[in-house]
């Protein structure tokens, strides 16, 4: 006959430490022009694998499988973290916008729409400190203007954006919100949500 032991002493609750909830943003070394191009090219490679045939998607999933020995962030994660947390993410953003614009004859705006819906939209929506610099880029650079046309912003917030961002972005909730660059169905509220990425290790 077996016996099950039950302690008469109640478990003591472990006090909650608020510091346990604090997640420090990653710190990246600043990118020079060559490093920014290399990150943009890895980001493109990841996009092409995710949009490819079954073998290519499986290859990307294998690359995304995190192991304890893997200390280098995946390109999508690194771009996401840089855009949201780095004081100056423009080396990465400029490289991504330039590469996406250069590819438009190759993939008919597919990668440009991906960059618009991801890092550029995150920069416009979540980084108010970057908006003036993005507006200046749009005034002088057709690649930035075209990319920002693929950004979705709530109509109430869009009117607060500096010119010409307020006119370039697609306003959600407005009657003219059908956009000029290839769109994806669905609503965007979390950073990069419209990219429909799967299997991320972090979510907001």
- Burial of 15 by CB count in 10 Å (0-12 exposed, 13-18 middle, 19+ buried)? exposed
Residue with tokens 């916008």: 97
- Asked if residues 131 and 165 have their Cβ atoms less than 8 Å apart, the reply is yes
Number of domains in the chain: 1
- pLDDT per residue as tens digits for the range 153-183: 999 999 999 999 999 999 998 555 444 443 4
Q: What is the pLDDT of residue 180?
A: 41
- pLDDT per residue as tens digits for the range 36-45: 999 999 999 9
204 is a domain residue? no
Range of the domain at 93: 31-65+72-188
Residue bearing the bigger pLDDT, 157 or 187? 157
Angle formed at CA 112 by CA 77 and CA 123, multiple of 5 degrees: 50
3 is a domain residue? no
203 is a domain residue? no
58 is a domain residue? yes
Q: What is the pLDDT of residue 203?
A: 32
Give dist(CA 32, CA 36) in Å, integer.
6
Tell me how far CA of residue 155 lies from CA of 5, 53, 62, 127, 191, in angstroms.
62, 37, 40, 17, 17
Q: What is the pLDDT of residue 16?
A: 65
94 is a domain residue? yes
81 is a domain residue? yes
200 is a domain residue? no
Give dist(CA 121, CA 15) in Å, integer.
40
Residue 4 has pLDDT above 90, yes or no: no
Give dist(CA 138, CA 65) in Å, integer.
37
Residue 129 has pLDDT above 60, yes or no: yes
17 is a domain residue? no
């Amino acid at each position: 006959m077996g016996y099950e032991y039950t302690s008469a002493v109640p478990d003591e609750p472990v006090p909650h430490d608020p510091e346990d909830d604090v997640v420090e943003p990653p710190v990246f070394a600043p990118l020079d022009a060559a490093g920014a191009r290399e990150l943009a090219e890895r980001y493109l490679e990841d996009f092409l694998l995710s949009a490819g045939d079954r073998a290519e998607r499986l290859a990307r999933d294998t690359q995304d499988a995190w192991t304890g020995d893997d200390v280098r962030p995946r390109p999508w994660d690194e771009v996401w973290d840089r855009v949201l947390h780095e004081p100056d993410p423009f080396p990465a953003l400029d490289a991504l916008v330039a590469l996406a614009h250069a590819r438009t004859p190759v993939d008919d705006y597919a990668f440009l729409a991906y960059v618009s819906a991801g890092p550029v939209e995150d920069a416009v929506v979540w980084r108010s400190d970057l908006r003036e610099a993005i507006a200046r880029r749009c005034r002088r650079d057709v690649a930035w203007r075209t990319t920002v046309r693929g950004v979705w912003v709530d109509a109430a917030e869009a009117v607060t954006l500096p010119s010409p961002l307020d006119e370039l972005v697609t306003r959600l909730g407005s009657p003219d919100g059908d956009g000029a660059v290839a769109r994806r169905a669905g609503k965007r509220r979390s950073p990069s949500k419209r990219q429909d990425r799967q299997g991320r290790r972090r979510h907001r």
